[in-house]
């Protein structure tokens, strides 16, 4: 099966965060690859990854990085594929704001879709939505997923309304 999404991260220490995108893509049935590509320590690997992604069948790239977080923007500068940036709160991060702003504040012409700090699951959902825009079957799976979110909220509301908010807090 051709891998449709590339998940890359600047360091293996980002894996606990980025695994959430992989889990969602696996759950929804989208083939992906996952690897480490450091913008600063392996720049040649970054160039090769970004420039070869389309020819390898990748349609969306999810790039997670902490600290200065150059990976998503650098990849976006080398491919016309959609790139979704995941700012990661890493050990060398200033409360994650450095990562958020490094990914969010891209210059004109080099867009990077940006999700919340450590928001890799949302990056996976966004990648699936991009692919699902032209894939009816995948779109239906995403609709079913979204329906489960609504069901969860309605169950919570019912529990609070019938048992009271204090009982719901003890749960």
User: How are beta strands 60-66 and 5-9 bridged, if at all?
Assistant: parallel
Q: Is 14 annotated as a binding residue?
A: yes
User: Which residues are within 8 A (CB) of 17 and not within 5 positions of it... i.e. 6 or more apart?
Assistant: 9, 64, 86, 88, 118, 120
Tell me how many helices (H) and strands (E) the chain has: 7, 5
Q: Is 90 annotated as a binding residue?
A: no
3-state SS assignment for residue 109: coil
Annotated binding site: 11, 14, 41
Annotated binding site for substrate: 11, 14, 41
């Amino acid at each position: 099966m051709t891998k449709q999404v590339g998940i890359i991260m600047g360091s293996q220490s980002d894996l606990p965060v980025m695994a959430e995108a992989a889990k969602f893509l696996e759950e929804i049935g989208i083939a992906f690859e996952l690897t480490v590509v450091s913008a600063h320590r392996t720049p040649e690997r970054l160039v090769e990854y970004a420039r070869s992604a389309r020819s390898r069948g990748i349609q969306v790239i999810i790039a997670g990085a902490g600290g200065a977080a150059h990976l998503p923007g650098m990849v976006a500068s080398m491919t016309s594929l959609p790139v979704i940036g995941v700012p990661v709160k890493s050990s060398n991060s200033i409360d994650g704001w450095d990562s958020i702003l490094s990914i969010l504040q891209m210059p004109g012409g080099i867009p990077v879709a940006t999700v919340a700090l450590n928001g890799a699951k949302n990056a996976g959902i966004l990648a699936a939505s991009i692919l699902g825009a032209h894939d009816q079957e995948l779109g239906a799976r995403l609709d079913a997923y979204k329906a489960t979110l609504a069901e969860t909220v309605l169950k919570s509301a019912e529990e609070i309304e019938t048992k009271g908010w204090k009982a719901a807090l003890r749960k």
